[in-house]
């Protein structure tokens, strides 16, 4: 069922992003007087198509990993004399720039609208209160303590752990001191703390900003109540069921689910004597975690059981909502922040501060799309906005075959006063295909490694 949800979620996400992107090209092309021959969402054989009164074929194709707008162009085939004025290659350079740039700009516009909807509808976040501070960590040396609420990072106000993580990821590679403002419980005034860092998070795979600073977010106590049991795994074979509460391990009272996870991970292949509360009665079960080897060679225990969720106390929940006009500014700001963050991540990956293994392909996108859809509409729309920004940024990179590569050619044409030669464009096309193909293979490889 989870696989089906992931597939459906990624089809919806990619379908929306591709449709908006290609509609940007289509809409501007029409207004610039260019004849559009086909508007296709997906590649390959059309599953559905129709032709409008302008002679444009609208199609939905079998492979939903892209799309295209095919325009009348003398470079791609003969054009009747009476229609030459409607060919893309006959338009002025500024018209061609507008048509090509419209696709990525449509993705930014989609993200802006998505964020606006979220800010108007209101988003529920968890108040960023520190649960624990690891001894001798950067957070401890900076003076942060458990129970404080973080209010700003790098002089930027934050309202949630998501805001904090975004600011911390932007600081990857920093050396010196990281400014974090926090206030004590019941205090309205925040104090600034300077956390010492050196080459922070450089090449950490994957980056774990909070853990690297020694900060553990506050969470409500999570009783060891079983929610899900995977068939064929040790938990199911031991007789654990949904609704069981594990109250003791080896006759030692169990504090919470996190302690149970620690014990399971630390004892692969060793039998654990469980005391389980089921329907008000105590039962004794024997559970032997199976060994599971991680990518780094470490072996941990695994039992195949999930914990039941608990509700957060109201005092630790916060709703962020804006009026329609204020939400516009917030949406523009968030879109800009995420765009800058994406560009900075690409830069840091190129200079070696971020590992290339953080690249994600269709498998990871499908998994995250499915998870966000299951988490609710708010998470799904937020993921859609972020992915739309990523698509817009990637398409603007100056790589031939991408929109950014075409824009580069047209800007050179503006400066030189004449188009880039067909030979140079053909060489650029081969280089671009090689680069994009390599990136796609790398992303798919890292996707498979994550599985």
pLDDT in tens, 102-131: 999 999 999 999 999 999 998 888 899 999
CATH of the domain at 291: 2.30.42.10
Among residues 273, 308, 343, the one where a domain terminates is 308
Q: Are residues 175 and 203 in the same domain?
A: yes
Q: Are residues 339 and 419 in the same domain?
A: yes
Does 31 map to a domain?
A: no
Does 72 map to a domain?
A: no
Q: Are residues 335 and 444 in the same domain?
A: yes
Q: What is the DSSP letter of 146?
A: T
Cα-based distances in Å from 333 to 50, 58, 163, 328 = 39, 35, 13, 9
CB-based contact 99:25 (threshold 8 Å):
yes
Coil vs helix vs strand at 425: helix
Q: Are residues 248 and 284 in the same domain?
A: yes
Does 45 map to a domain?
A: no
Exactly one of 22, 314, 315, 378 is catalytic; which is it? 22
Radius of gyration of the chain (CA): 27
Length of the chain: 451
First-to-last C-alpha distance (Å) of the chain: 17
Does 407 map to a domain?
A: yes
Q: Are residues 146 and 203 in the same domain?
A: yes
pLDDT at 346: 87
pLDDT at 188: 85
Q: Are residues 204 and 248 in the same domain?
A: no
pLDDT at 373: 65
Does 203 map to a domain?
A: yes
Q: Are residues 367 and 443 in the same domain?
A: yes
Residues 212, 314: Cα–Cα separation, whole Å: 29
pLDDT at 204: 73
The answer, as to whether pTM is greater than 0.85, is no
Quote the domain boundaries for residue 341.
105-122+324-451
Among residues 217, 235, 261, the one where a domain terminates is 217
Among residues 308, 340, 366, the one where a domain terminates is 308
Count of the separate structural domains present in the chain:
3
Does 87 map to a domain?
A: no
pLDDT at 355: 76
Q: Are residues 437 and 338 in the same domain?
A: yes
Regions of the chain short of the pLDDT cut 70: 1-3, 295-296, 366, 369-371, 373-375, 450-451
Q: Are residues 285 and 208 in the same domain?
A: no
Does 55 map to a domain?
A: no
Q: Are residues 144 and 212 in the same domain?
A: yes
Does 97 map to a domain?
A: no
Q: Are residues 329 and 406 in the same domain?
A: yes
149 is catalytic: no
Residues 300, 137: Cα–Cα separation, whole Å: 25
Q: Are residues 171 and 270 in the same domain?
A: no
């Amino acid at each position: 069922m989870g696989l089906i949800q992931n597939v459906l979620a990624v089809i919806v996400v990619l379908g929306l992003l591709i449709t908006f992107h290609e509609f940007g090209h289509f809409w501007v092309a029409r207004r610039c007087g260019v004849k559009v021959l086909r508007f296709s969402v997906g590649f390959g054989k059309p599953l559905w198509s129709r032709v409008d009164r302008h002679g444009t074929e609208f199609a939905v194709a079998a492979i939903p990993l892209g799309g295209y707008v095919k325009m009348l162009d003398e470079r791609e085939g003969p054009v009747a004399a009476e229609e030459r004025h409607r060919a893309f290659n006959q338009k002025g350079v500024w018209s061609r720039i507008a048509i090509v740039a419209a696709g990525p700009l449509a993705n930014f516009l989609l993200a802006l609208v998505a964020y606006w909807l979220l800010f108007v509808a209101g988003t529920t976040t968890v108040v960023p209160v520190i649960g624990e501070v690891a001894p001798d960590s950067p957070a401890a040396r900076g003076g942060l303590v458990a129970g404080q609420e973080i209010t700003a990072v790098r002089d930027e106000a934050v309202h949630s752990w998501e805001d904090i993580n975004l600011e911390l990821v932007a600081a990857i590679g920093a050396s010196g001191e990281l400014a974090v403002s926090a206030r004590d419980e019941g205090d309205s005034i925040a104090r600034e703390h300077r956390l010492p860092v050196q080459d922070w998070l450089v090449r950490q795979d994957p980056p774990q900003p909070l853990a690297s600073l020694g900060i553990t977010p506050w969470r409500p106590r999570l009783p060891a109540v079983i929610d899900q049991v995977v068939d064929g795994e040790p938990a199911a074979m031991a007789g654990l069921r949904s609704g069981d509460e594990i109250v003791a391990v080896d006759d030692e009272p169990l504090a919470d689910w996190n302690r149970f996870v620690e014990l399971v991970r630390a004892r692969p292949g060793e039998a654990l004597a469980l005391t389980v509360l089921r329907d008000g009665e105590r039962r004794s079960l024997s559970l032997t975690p199976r060994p599971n080897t991680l990518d780094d060679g470490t072996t941990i225990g695994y039992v195949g059981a999930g914990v039941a969720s608990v509700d957060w106390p109201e005092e630790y929940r916060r709703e962020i909502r804006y009026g329609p006009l204020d939400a516009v500014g917030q949406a523009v700001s968030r879109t800009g922040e995420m765009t800058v963050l994406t560009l900075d991540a690409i830069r840091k990956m190129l200079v070696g501060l971020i590992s290339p293994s953080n690249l994600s392909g269709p498998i990871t996108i499908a998994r995250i799309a499915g998870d966000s859809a299951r988490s609710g509409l708010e998470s799904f729309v937020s993921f859609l906005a972020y992915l739309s920004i990523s698509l817009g940024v990637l398409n603007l990179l100056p790589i031939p075959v991408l929109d950014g590569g075409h824009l580069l050619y047209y800007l050179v044409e503006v400066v030189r006063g004449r188009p880039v030669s067909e030979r140079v464009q053909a060489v650029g096309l081969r280089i671009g295909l090689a680069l994009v193909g390599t990136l796609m293979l790398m992303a798919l490889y890292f996707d498979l490694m994550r599985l």
